[in-house]
Amino acid sequence: MKGSKEPTTIPLVSVCIITYNQVEFMHETLQSALQQDYANIEIIVADDGSTDGTAEIIIDYARKFPGKIVSLIGGPNLGVTGNSNRGLRACKGQYVAFMGGDDTLLPCKITKQVAWLESDKDRVLCYHDVDVYDSETGKTIYLWSQKYRLRMGNAREVVKNGNFFAAMSVMVRYPHELNIVFNENIKVASDFFMWIEILERQSGSFGYVEGVYSRYRRHLNNVSSTGGSLYLHDSLATLDAIETLAPNKYDWECNQKRSETYLIEAHRRIWNKDYWIVFSLLLRSFCACHGFWMAPARILLRKIKAVRYGGFKVRVQRGRVD
């Protein structure tokens, strides 16, 4: 027909929700994903063997929204990284967004990020600012951008500066043919290496959309509150994985981050009064950066300063200020 236009197909977006024992938050989390204004969306919910009723809520939502919500329930407890991969492997979208079972998406998040990624084929990772709030009061503690400067760049920028992305803010262009998954040698903090691999293997760039499009709930059971003992293991495993992914490309950056990692762990051990271990860690830190020790030392000093956002003291946990 004269003047008619072919219907435009918008890309499928998978929202990958990873959850474990988050029954009190699941309704809000699922509703926030369902209420997005983007039309072509699937919601993949991977539950890691919850025992508190979380699974029952997910099953009920999947029954009410067939074709929209996919529930992955049952089986052994896989841990954070294993369960993340179970969810990721079920995603069919050209783009994948991530969130935990206690996170909340704000209106227009998906639409804004898809538009940004679609505008340039070299853009492969998009993020945004996040409202970090206290679960009990609902009050904002700080905005993510108050601790981490919003950046644009490529994989080198991420290797150099560490994981400055809030996971629930990230959407990636996901190339299914490359079979990129979370590295299971990294037990908890596997998202950092995932972002680097997504960027590196697609030779792409990352950037952000202006505005706050999700909320990160702070409560006693956050992974960032409970995973501190795995910080050293996961950080070193991540750096090893980067060097395997791109041999000789990021050696200087990885050595500096390795030195910083040992320094942060030494700081943690001082509070535990493990003084011989502290000495060993300091020696490893110095050797890792081949004598260029001032850069990681300055980073550590910035991180251990007492900083307060809305009356909440900020502490070093898992290698970042939490």
Q: What is the CATH number of the domain that holds 156?
A: 3.90.550.10
**Residue 8 included in any domain:** no
**Residue 6 included in any domain:** no
pLDDT value, residue 273: 80
* Residues near 184 by beta carbon (within 8 Å), at least 6 away in sequence: 81, 82, 85, 190
Using the predicted structure, report yes or no on whether residue 142 has a pLDDT greater than 90.
yes
Domain check: are 213 and 245 in the same one?
no
Domain check: are 149 and 189 in the same one?
yes
Domain check: are 264 and 306 in the same one?
yes
Summarize pLDDT for 252-297 with one digit per residue, the tens. Answer: 999 989 988 888 888 888 877 888 888 888 888 888 876 555 555 5
> Nearest-CA neighbor of 167 among 144, 141, 135, 146?
144
Domain check: are 211 and 230 in the same one?
no
**Residue 236 included in any domain:** yes
Whether 30 and 1 have beta carbons less than 8 Å apart is answered as no
Domain check: are 75 and 197 in the same one?
yes
Q: How many domains does the chain have?
A: 2
Rg (CA), the chain: 20
Pairwise pLDDT comparison (102 vs 300), residue with the higher score = 102
Domain check: are 64 and 94 in the same one?
yes
**Residue 135 included in any domain:** yes
> Nearest-CA neighbor of 60 among 71, 49, 52?
71
Domain check: are 212 and 231 in the same one?
no
* Residues near 124 by beta carbon (within 8 Å), at least 6 away in sequence: 117, 172, 173, 198, 199, 202, 204, 205, 206
Using the predicted structure, report yes or no on whether residue 101 has a pLDDT greater than 50.
yes
**Residue 147 included in any domain:** yes
Domain check: are 151 and 267 in the same one?
no
Using the predicted structure, report yes or no on whether residue 299 has a pLDDT greater than 70.
no
Using the predicted structure, report yes or no on whether residue 308 has a pLDDT greater than 50.
no
Quote the crossing angle between the two packed helices 26-34 and 54-64, to the nearest 10°: 30
- Give the range of the structural domain holding residue 50, as residue numbers without chain letter: 13-217
pLDDT value, residue 307: 39
**Residue 302 included in any domain:** yes
Going 69 to 73 to 78 to 79, the CA torsion angle's sign is positive
Domain check: are 172 and 55 in the same one?
yes
**Residue 5 included in any domain:** no
Pairwise pLDDT comparison (19 vs 287), residue with the higher score = 19
Q: Select from 217, 243, 262 the last residue of a domain.
A: 217
pTM of the model: 0.85
Q: Select from 191, 217, 243 the last residue of a domain.
A: 217
Location of structure tokens 């905005």: 143
Using the predicted structure, report yes or no on whether residue 7 has a pLDDT greater than 70.
no
Using the predicted structure, report yes or no on whether residue 221 has a pLDDT greater than 80.
no
Location of structure tokens 């909320």: 215
| Distance between CA atoms of residues 198 and 165, nearest Å | 14
Q: Select from 217, 242, 269 the last residue of a domain.
A: 217
**Residue 244 included in any domain:** yes
| Distance between CA atoms of residues 193 and 177, nearest Å | 19
Return the structure tokens found at 63: 């029954």
